[in-house]
Structure 1
Amino acid sequence: MIIIMKPTATREETAAVVDEVRAKGYAPNPIYGEQLTVVAVVGKHPGEFQGYFEGLDGVERCVLIDQSYKLVARAGRQSLGFKVGGDLTVGGGNLVVIAGPCSVESDEQMMACARVAKEAGATMLRGGAYKPRTSPYSFQGMGEEGLQLLAHVRDETGLKIVSEFTDARQFDNGEHEYVDMIQLGARNMQNFALLAAAGETGKPVLLKRGLAATIEDLLNAAEYIASRGTENILLCERGIRTFETATRNTLDIAAVPVLRKLTHLPICLDPSHAAGVREFIPPLAAASVAVGADALMLEIHPNPAVAKSDGSQALEFDLFRGLMKRIMSMPRWTYGEDIRIGDEEA
């Protein structure tokens, strides 16, 4: 069960609710969001005290949740989005485009990508400083030096930065302070120690779905992060592994409406990693926008032919500009619409 506090509830009222939950023999887990505060109640049969908890000062309502993920479940909560870097809203009706190269290679490369991305309408810059690669002999990234380059580009352009982290020790060293959003990659979606450590940083997290992960697996992974204090999570569908070999992965477009039903968290789609082939990315990007994604992640590069990683799926600047002009003016599916085929009102 989760206890949803009123928007006007004070910290003292929330603390009193936490004490009452503990007094009843349950484990309370308060999450202080930007728009909403909730208290997860962990234990057997918490519904027995639903009426009691709803009578406490500052409580709006209680919601019983059957799923194993409690904090990230929709449970009647609206997706209000959250702030990244202080002033950029992710979710809540805004389309956020995250663009940049697979790997940080140089200051010149990142500045070129950032300028083009910003001019075209993107508001976040991606770039990998730590690169978990299939082969140990492939380029592994520039590490902390790459994060420093990203921070410099942010200072010059104002774009918010997202970059992947692969080891909890990177948080211990304070390296997450270089970025505005932590990315946890598909290979680490079930690295539970890393998920928990990311949640403890307080930074927003972009969580990518694993190659063979179900939607329930993804939401339970997000629950690890939320349970450690960070509910500002952007779920990312980046393609799953199927028997099809024409593309690198298969983009699960159906994940968007399913996730809309199950969670209040915003949703990002990454057609670049799903397709793995440049020519397929624009139509998949358009489909991602049409289905109502909150964010879109696109790989771009000044010269994909010499990229140190994933050059085959990086868009040239001209192609990226043209794609942005099309998708930024596209209509997006609005969830909550009630459309019945054949209805006179449809």
Structure 2
Amino acid sequence: MIIVMKSGAGRQELAEVKKRIRELGYKPHVIHGATRNVVGAVGDERGKAVLQSLQSLSGVDNVVPILKPFKLASREVKPEPSLVEIVPGLSVGGDEFIVMAGPCSVESEAQILQSAHAVKAAGARLLRGGAFKPRTSPYSFQGLEEEGLKLLAAAREETGLPIVTEVVNPRDVELVARYADVMQVGARNVQNFALLKMLGQLDKPILLKRGMATTIQEYLMSAEYILSEGNRRVILCERGIRTFETATRNTLDISAVPVLKSQTHLPVIVDPSHATGHARLIAPMSYAAVAAGADGLIVEVHPRPEEAASDGPQSLKPADFAAMMKKLAAYAEVAERSLATGD
């Protein structure tokens, strides 16, 4: 249920509504709007009719059922788009098209520093890099783990770029949170509900990637796990789904972007690197992402892709990334978005 407060309702009236929601066995989630507040009451669907009694409370304008199974992620709760602040002065979901870029995995200090300087010069606003790498084969490079996190932190110190890196295991949440500005949940963990619940208890942005075979509803229900624990700073990422096609690594579901934007207030970005698996396809899919209404990109960039420990074929060279960013700025302008492209 959504409890819509009257315009001008005060703190005491809001506190009373939250108290009554808890007494009825539900969890209140306050969504602050420009002119009024809305309280989502989340819990067992079978007894939600009792929440209609809240209509009589002072300060309550209306009590409305939420029809979508994903309650807090739905535009029924929050019609206007959400801004997710990364650091002061940098948010995803606003007028600026945000690009995150860097290597698939952190391999050495020289590699991550070179990558960080290159992507910053081209206009990227965040540095991506994997310290923990979930791989299909147990014999593949698994990442430098905490040493990789320290190298990412050093790159942030030198360039000023916030870092986004993946957390793979619930036991590593606290460790990764000490270093990362944005915690990434990869496609293989999109329904790792124990991990999602732990991330929901952090006050830190979460970048949630869509699973390889996850429907949009299942995907939004995964976001709901994070939101329901209290963390509202969720960014969605379309990274391609598995189909019968073999010409690309995955199939970029570009239509998922406008579908998600119509169903949820959460910002949506696109990962053209994992979606295609081929460096030559990243630029056209990035332009398509702008046209589809995405709020940003996360792109793999490596100074020497031919020597990369992971995902070399889908990694752009710095010069190619810089060229793409210049052209991307023109597409962003047509889409009425802005894009910084370096000094």
Same-fold call, TM cutoff 0.5: yes
Contact 1:248 1:273 in 2 (8 A): yes
1:157 offset after TM fit, Å? 1.2
Deviation at 1:278, TM superposition (A): 0.9
Does the CA contact (< 8 Å) of 1:27 and 1:42 recur in 2?
Answer: yes
Q: 1:109 to 1:38 in 2, by over 3 A?
A: farther
Q: For 1:54 and 1:292, locate their aligned partners in 2 and report how far apart those are by CA, in whole Å.
A: 41
In structure 2, how many angstroms separate the alpha carbons of the residues matched to 1:148 and 1:261? 39
Amino acid at match of 2:171: R
Q: In the alignment, does 2:29 pair up with 1:30?
A: yes
Normalised to the residue count of structure 2, the TM-score between the two structures is 0.89
Q: CA-to-partner distance for each residue in 1:29-62, whole Å, 9 max, x for gaps?
A: 32567987643343436466447448543x5754
TM-score if structure 1 supplies the norm length? 0.89
Q: Check 1:106–1:329 CA distance in 2 against 1; reply closer, same or farther (3 A cut).
A: same
Counterpart AA for 1:275: T
Provide the C-alpha distance between the structure 2 equivalents of 1:65 and 1:332, rounded to a whole number of angstroms: 35
* Change over 3 Å in CA distance of 1:86–1:10 after alignment to 2: farther
For residues 33 and 202 of structure 2, what CA distance do their matches in structure 1 show? 16
**Residue in structure 1 matched with residue 310 of structure 2 by the alignment:** 309
Question: Is 1:287 matched with 2:318?
Answer: no
- The verdict on how the C-alpha distance between 1:108 and 1:72 changes in structure 2, with shifts beyond 3 A counting, is same
- Paired residue for 1:338? none
Matches of 1:315 and 1:55, distance apart in 2: 58
Whole-angstrom CA distance in 2 between matches of 1:93 and 1:310: 31
Residue 264 of structure 2 is aligned to residue 263 of structure 1: yes
Cα RMSD between the aligned structures?
A: 2.4
Aligned to 2:90: 88
Contact 1:34 1:82 in 2 (8 A): no
Quickly say closer, same or farther: Cα 1:64–1:37, change in 2 above 3 A: closer
Secondary structure (helix, strand or coil) at the match of 1:104 reads: coil
Describe the shift of the 1:323–1:10 C-alpha distance in structure 2 as closer, same or farther (beyond 3 A): farther
Contact 1:291-1:332 at 8 Å conserved across structures: no
Q: Counterpart of 1:175?
A: 176
Secondary structure of 2:163's match? strand
Partner-residue secondary structure (3-state), 2:330: coil
Deviates more, 1:185-194 or 1:9-18: 9-18
The total of aligned residue pairs comes to: 332
User: RCO greater where, 1 or 2, for CA within 8 Å and sep 6 or more?
Assistant: 2
C-alpha contact (below 8 Å) 1:198/1:205 kept by paired residues: yes
1:151 counterpart residue number: 153
| Unpaired stretches in structure 1, ≥5 consecutive residues | 336-346
Using the TM superposition, give the Cα deviation of residue 281 of structure 1 relative to its aligned residue in structure 2, in angstroms.
1.0
Post-superposition shift, 1:334? 7.1
Q: Deviation string for 1:262-298 (max 9, x for gaps)?
A: 1000001000001101111110111011111001011
Equivalent position of 1:138 in the other structure? 140
**CA–CA distance in structure 2, aligned partners of residues 34 and 151 of structure 1:** 35
Corresponding residue to 1:110 among 109, 112, 130: 112
Q: Does 1:253 align with 2:284?
A: no
Q: How far is 1:212 from its partner?
A: 0.4
1:229 partnered with 2:230: yes
Distance in 1, Cα, partners of 2:229 & 2:41: 12
Which amino acid in 1 is paired with 2:275?
A: A
8 Å CA contact retained: 2:21, 2:41: no
1:182-197 residue pairs with structure 2 within 5 A? 182-197=183-198
User: In structure 1, the residue corresponding to 2:223 is in which secondary structure?
Assistant: helix
Q: Residue 86 of structure 1: CA displacement?
A: 2.8
For structure 2, the 5+ residue unaligned runs are 338-343
Change (3 A) 1:163 1:34: farther
Partner letter of residue 28 of structure 1?
A: K
State the distance in 1 between where 2:179 and 2:33 align: 22
Q: Residue 98 of structure 1 aligns to which amino acid in structure 2?
A: M
C-alpha change, 1:110 and 1:245, in structure 2 (3 Å) is same
129-138 vs 1-10, which moves further: 1-10
